[in-house]
Structure 1
């Protein structure tokens, strides 16, 4: 089979090659030439199947968001999993599981985690990436709204509160990856910092 015989198959092959490169060597390795070499095709093949380098990188990042959704139990739009939650206590427990899953994904797949949120790298990648990533944030927002609904007395909206929580979790993941968290806290234990983060954004949980 030639490179032109099965365009969909070759696109998938290029994405799989990019995912493997990302795991082995990190974001810096994701040049068109290296991805083509890893896929075993000519260096011009990616340009025939992806209009831009950013489009190919976005396809690789979508693979990461799909995997993250599976890890968090939010496969698909995520709506069914969150509408089934009853009450603030259950929603908070679900949020804690999501937070731990998010931090575990970041630790286990640092290259993919970096690429997924590098919108300077993925700029111009179009709506497909948003359709994959935004439902995860929407699920987080719905859970935050169940735990800590705004009272109308100056409380942030659920979207703002969810964004603040996500930013805090992402910062924890990044600081841990850099070794900065252990340097400042004097320990590799993440659990106390995670609990403090959740308490700060959701109110203190019963102990």
Structure 2
């Protein structure tokens, strides 16, 4: 790939990221991305074969951002696996709340399942971190670590989604999602010893 091609591709992705972060995933159009990138409205098709390819490249940036945040969290969380899981969960929920459009874009099935950019492979390292930590704290009677990690991830994702929709604050009366995070960890890993 030429330097010029890489530069235009990078500008298109950066413009798409900004659009998603500030206006949400539903505002993303090829024409608006091109306008913000300062290229012709036909340029995105020359650099990305399909709209899904461009959206996948934008979502990949979201996964990279989330991974960097999780890495920083893991450095600061200390050695205890459960505390690390709690910190990772907090990071995940905070990312979902503050980067709503990107969070929604990152987990669109059509993007995760698209073949060319292998977006699913970009999301799996985060799951591996969760599964590794769960393996360190699971009880012998628990489900296998990957299954338990999957249930915990699904729970966190559900908390993020239902919180954003306003369903959980309404149903629980909670002012924030901290209690829900603790409850999810307790439900999947058992309560902390007294």
Please report the TM-score for the alignment, with normalisation by the length of structure 1.
Answer: 0.85
Choose the corresponding residue for 1:100, options 81, 84, 90: 90
Choose the corresponding residue for 1:61, options 55, 59, 66: 59
Q: Summarize the alignment of residues 1-207 of structure 1 with structure 2, pairs less than 5 Å apart.
A: 6-73=4-71, 90-148=80-138, 151=140, 155-207=142-194
1:1-30 CA-partner distances (Å, limit 9, x unpaired):
xxx970000000000000111112111111
Runs of 4+ in 1 over 4 A off after TM superposition: none
CA RMSD in angstroms comes to: 2.1
Confirm or deny: 8 A CA contact 2:20 2:28 kept in the other structure.
yes
Please report the TM-score for the alignment, with normalisation by the length of structure 2.
Answer: 0.91
> Is the deviation greater in 165-174 or in 125-134?
125-134
Q: Of Structure 1 and Structure 2, which has the larger fraction of its residues in helix?
A: 2
> Is the deviation greater in 117-126 or in 129-138?
117-126
Distance 2:125 2:36 in 1: 31
> Is the deviation greater in 155-164 or in 51-60?
155-164
1:22-65 CA-partner distances (Å, limit 9, x unpaired):
11211111111111111111111011111111111010001000
Aligned-residue offset at 1:74: 6.7
Between the two proteins, the alignment pairs up a number of residues equal to 191
> Is the deviation greater in 37-46 or in 185-194?
185-194
Structure 1 residue runs of 5 or longer lacking an equivalent are: none
Structure 2 residue runs of 5 or longer lacking an equivalent are: none
